[in-house]
């Protein structure tokens, strides 16, 4: 049996194995969520709803077909937080630690798995990297939980309840899961700017990408020695992230100025705009019923959710760097340049093609999903369907409220989108990818008229 | 003055000059349309509506803010047909003939202009090519007008009226303009399969691309000698065109089977599906009020209008070959291949990047337009706005009816989209394109994590 398993894994690509791990995590989570101890007394969870919640939790999306508030027991919220943690940090990171704890040597094959999961292209220092990620994320979560817990003493009757809520909120924000156990997302804190600021910071730390966090830590450690150079990836990821935050805030403000923000003062208007702009990176939390936004804001949120978070982060979507490189490519072309020069480096031509392939595949995937859903669920509007599809693919979890009302086919489609959004389009393409064929010979090249 | 003009044109790229020609055609058309002789007695046409009609006619889109049926005089319909002809065949083709007639020698500079307008990459034989295009299109239109005119004797009281309607319908279908002077598109012929079949054939001949038509003529001429080889462009363009026609027909049939096509027999159902599938290539004619289609069909039509027709044809959109190459690139990648092999040839890597740049730019352009329109025109649904934007960019001209009700800003946006759709994204990028900068030195390349 051992030998057969080895033979099987040898045949599968590392991406396929990662996917198997994720699928296992989903199946185990489904059973965890269906355990009586997880649920409130008298509550029954159907298999499809448990599966949907499991996929949503492992992919840290936060879309839900049920009210967690009315479903999960006290213990259940800890179990859910644990699943979010697994999903957020990545099954492989955790798997590595199990191996380490069991004293098993990390071999080349395992390193390659981790490399694929974290999207790294260098093998060395990976185990060290993973340990750092885990320590960093847990530290961030604990600090967040502590601050929120202390502050929640103003809201909740007992300190146990305050810290339970604080811990869950911190884990949910840092992993960008966006689940809530209050039943109302962060709407009760619409005027509590401390809670919102902490949440914004936690969301950013989770979604900015692990490599960025690691580099910043190294930068801080080596600051005195000087000469620290950030990687091109970190520069592009952080710049794009910041640009999206600012653009989102500005446009939500413009679109809602004469609508939702009428009569609100500057601070209120700023927080409503900035919070939802940040939330689209992939958290999906909200401080307002987002149905109240107008159509242009809904469309903007769709676009931003589709773009998603940094690669190697807790988020989904096509990823910020993918968007940035495609955009830079268009700008370079329009300027008449044949190469992309940015931060005194040049982008590799194959990375440009890779980003376009990701975007094209994502568009086809989401476009097909929208057309298919509008066919099988004719009672929902185009806006509702587009929003839910973008939210699932971006593993954002914002919702205009139709997810609980979808049929089994619709729920399955959203589950698929959340899963692909989490593993990323590239891993998805690798999944279906075969061995290269017909690479040994070449036909002559011929020009084709384009555009 | 002559010298100054030469200096000016020497500074402008050939694309910019083509655009200037198109703009001149639009301005002249606007004045032609505002002449009293063009209009019915007592009808007044506002400047914005005349301009909109001119842009729509020169770009052979067919979107309209007015009822032509109630606006144009008898003479006016001929003037409109003439403008469609200019737009359809391309300002440059006609310009070339003016030069030829005036006995002016066609120099290198003029050849380059024509080359850009017709998207050709070889200079030789261009004048010959243009003459062939004009002869072919006019021949096709006259044959179409003759058949339709004779058949229309069944519908109209006098032979003059029958042939006027036949001529206009033939020109409108062949140039894929999609204008109608009946006031109801082809709805009166919903059960006349001869009229529909002729229209389908004329639409295909106009939208399949001039190079394809020329190659087919050469193929027929050289058939007996054997050894004729179609270009890769023709093979890809024809295959994609056919695939889109079939896919459109099948999906409209599936989406409407239990909706619009309920109770219709097979022939009726086939013609409703096939006609509207063909019409999205860029004609925009319809045999039914397209508001009656369901949401998935509307979305499908949007997608197909966005793709549009062949390059170097009367149509707009991103163009069939652009779509085909991007799709082939994703499929090749998913299969693990690093090159695209098709019809025993390989696609040039720069053509792959070109097609992605076109698609990305088009997405941003249309996405921005949809968000902007939904902001300034909040009374229209997302579906209505998306449909009108796709229709304008694809120079298709199908409408859910909101175009006449848009404000001046909305109308101007649609005009811009029609114009860019007609000249093509590539020419649009060239328009804003500067001289290459910073090409002399290179930075070192650095990898970035994507997707
Ligand atoms: K989320
Ligand atoms: K048209």
Write out the DSSP string of B165-185: HHHHHHHHHHTT----SSSST
Q: What is the spatial distance between Cα A340 and Cα A338, in angstroms, rounded to a whole number?
A: 7
Q: What is the DSSP letter of B435?
A: -
**From the candidates B231, B360, B363, B451, which should be mutated to test the interface with A, based on the most A CB atoms within 10 A?**
B451
Q: What is the spatial distance between Cα A247 and Cα A242, in angstroms, rounded to a whole number?
A: 9
Say yes or no to pLDDT of B353 above 70: yes
Residue A7's pLDDT is 53
Residue A392's pLDDT is 95
pLDDT band, residue B100 (cuts 50/70/90): low
Region of poorest pLDDT, from A204-213, B7-16, B418-427: B7-16
The closest ligand to the CA of B418 turns out to be 2
Residue A434's pLDDT is 61
Question: Given phi > 0 = left and psi -120 to 50 = alpha, else beta, which region is B322?
Answer: alpha
Say yes or no to pLDDT of B8 above 70: no
Closest-CA residue to B424 (of B145, B8, B32, B117): B117
Residue showing tokens 């140039």 = B175
CB atoms within 10 A of CB A224: 6
Residues 423-442 of A with CB under 8 A from B: 424-426, 429, 432-439, 442
pLDDT band, residue A53 (cuts 50/70/90): very high
Residue A249's pLDDT is 96
pLDDT band, residue A131 (cuts 50/70/90): confident
Say yes or no to pLDDT of A345 above 60: yes
Q: What is the spatial distance between Cα A151 and Cα A145, in angstroms, rounded to a whole number?
A: 10
Residues from chain B contacting residue A331 (CB–CB below 8 Å): none
**From the candidates A352, A353, A451, which should be mutated to test the interface with B, based on the most B CB atoms within 10 A?**
A451
Q: What is the spatial distance between Cα B88 and Cα B83, in angstroms, rounded to a whole number?
A: 8
Residues from chain A contacting residue B451 (CB–CB below 8 Å): 119, 311, 318-319, 322, 354-355, 358, 424-426
Residues 289-318 of A with CB under 8 A from B: 294-296, 299-300, 303, 311-312, 318
Say yes or no to pLDDT of A103 above 60: no
The reply to whether residue A330 touches residue B360, judged by beta carbons under 8 angstroms, is yes
The closest ligand to the CA of B174 turns out to be 2
How far is residue B80 from each of residues A425, B39, B60, B84, B196, measured CA to CA in Å? 49, 11, 11, 6, 22
Query: How far is CA A238 from its chain centroid?
Result: 16
Residue B72 pairs in a beta bridge with B39
The reply to whether residue B382 touches residue A333, judged by beta carbons under 8 angstroms, is no
How far is residue B425 from each of residues A194, B54, B285, B307, B398, measured CA to CA in Å? 47, 20, 24, 12, 21
The reply to whether residue A356 touches residue B353, judged by beta carbons under 8 angstroms, is yes
**Chain A interface includes B230 (CB < 8 A):** no
Distance B200 CA to ligand 2 centre (A): 13
User: Nearest C-alpha of chain B: how many angstroms from A106?
Assistant: 24
CB contact at 8 A, B339 and A442:
yes
Residue B253's pLDDT is 95
State the average pLDDT over residues B37-50. Answer: 90
The closest ligand to the CA of A281 turns out to be 1
**A2: CB partners within 8 A, 6+ apart:** none
Q: What is the DSSP letter of A348?
A: -
Measured in Å, how far apart are chain B's first and last C-alpha atoms? Answer: 56
Residue A19's pLDDT is 79
pLDDT band, residue B2 (cuts 50/70/90): very low
Q: Name the more confident of B214 and A78.
A: A78
Mean pLDDT, rounded, of chain B: 85
Say yes or no to pLDDT of A3 above 50: no
CB contact at 8 A, A298 and A252:
no
CB contact at 8 A, A399 and A63:
yes
Residue positions counted in chain A: 451
pLDDT band, residue B199 (cuts 50/70/90): very high
Residue A347 pairs in a beta bridge with B446
Residue A345 pairs in a beta bridge with A342
Helix, strand and coil in chain B, % to nearest 5: 65, 0, 30
Say yes or no to pLDDT of A385 above 90: yes
Residue B339's pLDDT is 82
Q: What is the spatial distance between Cα A386 and Cα B299, in angstroms, rounded to a whole number?
A: 11
Region of poorest pLDDT, from A68-82, A266-280, B81-95, B233-247: B81-95
pLDDT band, residue A371 (cuts 50/70/90): very high
CB atoms within 10 A of CB A242: 13
Distance B156 CA to ligand 2 centre (A): 25
Which of B121, B333, B448 faces A233 most closely, judged by CB atoms?
B448
Q: Name the more confident of A268 and A123.
A: A268
Residue B236's pLDDT is 93
CB atoms within 10 A of CB B265: 8
**From the candidates A212, A320, A449, which should be mutated to test the interface with B, based on the most B CB atoms within 10 A?**
A449
Residue B422's pLDDT is 87
How far is residue A256 from each of residues A259, A261, B76, B253, measured CA to CA in Å? 5, 6, 46, 40
- Residues B134-150 as b/e (b if ≥16 CB within 10 A, e otherwise) read bebbeebbebbbebbbe
Residues 144-183 of B with CB under 8 A from A: none
Residues from chain B contacting residue A355 (CB–CB below 8 Å): 450-451
How far is residue B365 from each of residues A238, A278, B58, B413, measured CA to CA in Å? 25, 24, 21, 11
The pair of structure tokens assigned to B386 is: 């998306």
Q: What is the spatial distance between Cα B132 and Cα B138, in angstroms, rounded to a whole number?
A: 10
Say yes or no to pLDDT of A246 above 80: yes
Which of A344, A444, A451 faces B345 most closely, judged by CB atoms?
A444
Q: What is the 3-state secondary structure (H, E, C) of A102-126?
A: CCCCCCHHHHHHHHHHHCCCCCCCH
pLDDT band, residue A6 (cuts 50/70/90): low
Q: Over the stretch B256-277, which tens digit does the pLDDT of each residue have?
A: 998 888 888 899 899 999 999 9
Q: Name the more confident of A435 and A309.
A: A309
**Beta strands A445-446; A345-347: pairing state:** unpaired
Residue B451's pLDDT is 66
Residues 196-225 of A with CB under 8 A from B: 211
Distance B66 CA to ligand 1 centre (A): 47
Q: What is the spatial distance between Cα A176 and Cα A141, in angstroms, rounded to a whole number?
A: 11
Distance B420 CA to ligand 2 centre (A): 14
Distance A66 CA to ligand 1 centre (A): 16
- Ion ligand 2: residues, Cβ under 5 Å: B 61-62, 176, 178, 284, 397
Say yes or no to pLDDT of A242 above 60: yes
Query: Which backbone phi and psi does B347 adopt, to 5 degrees?
Result: -80, 140
CB atoms within 10 A of CB B231: 17
Q: Name the more confident of A90 and A172.
A: A172
Which of A352, A439, A448 faces B338 most closely, judged by CB atoms?
A439
- Residues A251-261 as b/e (b if ≥16 CB within 10 A, e otherwise) read bbbebbeeebb
H helices present in B90-222, as ranges: 91-101, 108-117, 126-152, 159-174, 193-207, 210-222
Residue A116's pLDDT is 64
Residue B1's pLDDT is 39
Residue B327's pLDDT is 94
Q: Over the stretch A262-279, which tens digit does the pLDDT of each residue have?
A: 888 899 899 999 999 999
CA triplet A28, A85, A70: central angle to 5 degrees? 70
pLDDT band, residue B3 (cuts 50/70/90): very low
CB atoms within 10 A of CB A147: 18
Sequential DSSP letters for A147-172: HHHHHHTTTSSSHHHHHHHHHHHHHH
State the average pLDDT over residues A416-434. Answer: 82
Which of A362-371, B106-115, B280-289 reaches the highest mean pLDDT? A362-371
Residue B31's pLDDT is 93
Region of poorest pLDDT, from A128-142, A161-175, A262-276: A128-142
Structural element, H or E, at residue B347: strand B345-347
Query: Which backbone phi and psi does A346 adopt, to 5 degrees?
Result: -115, 140
pLDDT band, residue A4 (cuts 50/70/90): low
Residue A188's pLDDT is 85
Residue A442's pLDDT is 74
**Chain A interface includes B351 (CB < 8 A):** yes
Which of A120, A375, A450 faces B255 most closely, judged by CB atoms?
A375
Residues from chain A contacting residue B340 (CB–CB below 8 Å): none
Distance A371 CA to ligand 1 centre (A): 24
Which of A300, A330, A346 faces B357 most closely, judged by CB atoms?
A330
User: Closest chain A residue to B301 measured between Cα atoms?
Assistant: A371
pLDDT band, residue B134 (cuts 50/70/90): confident
Which of B329, B347, B374 faces A296 most closely, judged by CB atoms?
B374
Region of poorest pLDDT, from A121-125, A202-206, B237-241: A121-125
Q: Over the stretch B141-173, which tens digit does the pLDDT of each residue have?
A: 999 999 999 999 998 899 988 999 999 999 999
Residue showing tokens 């691309």 = B209
How far is residue A107 from each of residues A5, A15, A121, B309, B321, measured CA to CA in Å? 17, 17, 16, 54, 47
pLDDT band, residue A180 (cuts 50/70/90): confident
Q: What is the spatial distance between Cα A26 and Cα A23, in angstroms, rounded to a whole number?
A: 5
The reply to whether residue A231 touches residue B338, judged by beta carbons under 8 angstroms, is no
Q: What is the spatial distance between Cα A354 and Cα A322, in angstroms, rounded to a whole number?
A: 8
Residue A115's pLDDT is 63
Tell me the ipTM for this assembly: 0.88
* Interface A:B, Cβ pairs < 8 A: 251
Q: Name the more confident of B318 and B178.
A: B318
pLDDT band, residue A111 (cuts 50/70/90): low
**Beta strands B341-342; B345-347: pairing state:** antiparallel
The reply to whether residue A346 touches residue B445, judged by beta carbons under 8 angstroms, is yes
Mean pLDDT, rounded, of chain A: 85
């Amino acid at each position: 049996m051992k030998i057969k398993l080895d033979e099987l894994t040898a045949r599968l690509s590392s991406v396929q194995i990662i996917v198997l791990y994720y699928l296992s995590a989903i199946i185990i989570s489904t059973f965890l969520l269906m355990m009586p101890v997880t649920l409130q007394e008298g509550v029954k969870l159907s298999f499809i709803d448990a599966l949907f919640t499991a996929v949503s939790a492992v992919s840290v999306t936060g879309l839900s077909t049920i009210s967690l508030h009315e479903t999960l027991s006290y213990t259940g919220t800890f179990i859910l937080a644990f699943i979010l943690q697994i999903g957020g940090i990545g099954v492989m990171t955790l798997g590595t630690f199990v191996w380490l704890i069991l004293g098993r040597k990390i071999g080349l094959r395992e390193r390659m798995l981790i490399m694929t999961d974290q999207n790294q292209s260098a093998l060395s220092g990976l185990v060290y990297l993973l340990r750092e990620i885990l320590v960093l994320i847990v530290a961030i979560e604990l600090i967040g939980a502590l601050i929120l817990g202390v502050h929640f003493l103003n809201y909740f009757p007992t300190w146990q309840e305050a810290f339970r809520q604080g811990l869950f909120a911190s884990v949910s924000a840092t992993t960008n899961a966006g689940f809530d156990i209050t039943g109302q997302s962060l709407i009760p804190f619409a005027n509590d700017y401390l809670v919102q600021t902490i949440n914004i910071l936690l969301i950013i730390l989770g979604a900015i990408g692990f490599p960025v966090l690691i580099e910043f830590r190294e930068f801080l450690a080596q600051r005195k020695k000087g000469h620290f150079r950030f990687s091109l990836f970190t520069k592009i990821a952080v710049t794009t992230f910041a640009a999206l935050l600012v653009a989102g805030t500005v446009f939500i403000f413009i679109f809602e100025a004469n609508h939702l923000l009428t009569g609100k003062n500057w601070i209120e208007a700023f927080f409503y705009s900035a919070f939802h702009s940040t939330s689209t990176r992939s958290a999906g939390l909200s401080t307002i019923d987002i149905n109240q936004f107008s159509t242009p804001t809904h469309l903007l949120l769709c676009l931003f959710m589709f773009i998603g978070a940094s690669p190697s982060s807790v988020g989904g979507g096509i990823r910020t760097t993918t968007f940035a490189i495609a955009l830079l490519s268009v700008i370079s072309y329009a300027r008449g340049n044949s190469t992309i020069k940015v931060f005194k480096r040049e982008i590799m031509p194959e990375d440009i093609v890779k980003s376009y392939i990701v975007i094209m595949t994502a568009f086809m995937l989401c476009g097909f999903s929208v057309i298919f859903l509008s066919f099988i669920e004719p009672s929902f509007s185009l806006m509702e369907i587009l929003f839910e599809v973008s939210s699932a693919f971006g593993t954002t979890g914002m919702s205009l409220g139709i997810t609980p009302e979808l049929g089994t086919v619709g729920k399955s489609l959203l589950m698929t989108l959340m899963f692909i959004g989490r593993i990323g389009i590239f891993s998805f393409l690798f999944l279906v990818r075969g061995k290269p064929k017909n690479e040994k010979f070449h036909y002559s090249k011929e020009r084709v008229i384009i555009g």
